[in-house]
Amino acid sequence: MKIMQNARVQDDTDTNRLLVNWLLSNSQISTIQRDLKTGPFSPFLCPMGKFSFSNTASGQTTEEDGKDKETISVTFLNKDGEEKVIEVPVGMSMLEAAHENDIELEGACEGSLACSTCHVIVMDVNYYNKLEDPTDEENDMLDLAFGLTETSRLGCQIVAKPELDGIRLALPAATRNFAVDGFVPKPH
């Protein structure tokens, strides 16, 4: 189902800001963990030869292992709204790309569609509509995501393709307002 309205973005609270500050202030440690994390994700190491798209995307073509590799530009908005632009090879998921680039995106199940921790919000509904509809399985996981919006997706299920060049993804400033008796999924 495609939708025509803008994404709702979470309120920024003091707590969020504090959280972000400490996340950012320890980027070195994060990098170390991230390096280790990339281990299990390997599909993108396969030759990218078959993705030899022509000029639909404005991404650059880089030389790697003697093969052409098309990339698209993706902007991640951190939890405090800070932007980071990265180049993502076509065929790579946003979860892998985030981890390659030290972006604080969790990935508890390492992309096996068994958790909701790599939840991202597509900032522009036009880009959201360029994505394949989420499967039932992805929707089942999105049910459990914090700060769900109309344009929420799982990072592991968004795979870079030329049409997505320029996409902007926000990491949800997931709610820190815990009800004491447990989390109630946000109405959607």
Partner 1 sequence: MKGGFLFRGWKTLTSRGFCSLNDKSLRVCVIGSGPAGFYTAEKMLKAHERAEVDILDRLPTPFGLVRSGVAPDHPETKIVVNQFSRAASNERCSFFGNVSLGSDVSLSELRDMYDVVVVAYGAESDRSLGVPGENLTGIYSAREFVWWYNGHPDCRYMAPDLKCTDTAVVLGQGNVALDVARILLRPTSELQTTDIAEHALISLQESTIRKVYLVGRRGPAQAACTAKELREILGMKNLQVHIQAADLVISPADEEELKASRIQRRVYDLLCKSATSHQGHDFAGQQELHFIFFRKPDEFLPSEDQSRVEGVRLEKTCLKANGLSRKQVAIGTGQFEDLDCGLVLKSIGYKSVPVDGLPFDKYRAGVVPNLKGRVLSGDQPENVNIEQGLYVVGWLKRGPTGIVATNLYCAEETVTSILEDINEGLIALRSGSPKPGRQGLLQVLEDKNIRFVPFRGWEKIDSKEKLEGQLRNKPREKLTTWDELLKVALGR
Residues that bind partner 1 (CB under 8 A): 15, 18-19, 22-23, 25-26, 29-30, 32-33, 35-40, 45, 106, 108-110, 112-117, 136-137, 139-141, 143-144, 146, 148, 174-176, 178, 180-188
- Least distance (Å) between residue 165 CB and partner 1: 26
DSSP string, 57-123: S---EEEETTEEEEEEEEEEE-TTS-EEEEEEETT-BHHHHHHHTT-----TTTTSSS--TTEEEES
Distance (Å, whole) CA 95 – CA 132: 17
Given a contact cutoff of 8 angstroms between Cβ atoms, the answer to whether 83 and 76 are in contact is: yes
**How do strand 61-64 and strand 119-122 relate by DSSP bridges?**
unpaired
> CB 89 → partner 1: shortest distance, Å?
16
Identity of the residue, 115 or 123, whose beta carbon is nearer to partner 1 in the bound complex: 115
100 neighbors 93 (Cβ within 8 angstroms): no
The least distance separating partner 1 from the CB of residue 104, rounded to whole angstroms, comes to 10
Give the nearer residue to partner 1 in terms of CB position, either 58 or 139: 139
Shortest Å, Cβ 183 to partner 1: 5
C-beta closer to partner 1: residue 63 or 187: 187
Least Cβ distance, residue 119 to partner 1 (angstroms): 9
Burial class (CB in 10 A: 0-12, 13-18, 19+), 33: exposed
Which C-beta is closer to partner 1: that of 35 or that of 68?
35
For tokens 């999924």, what's the residue?
A: 185
- Report the residue number, 21 or 126, with the smaller CB distance to partner 1: 21
Give the separation between CA 1 and CA 100, rounded to whole angstroms: 31
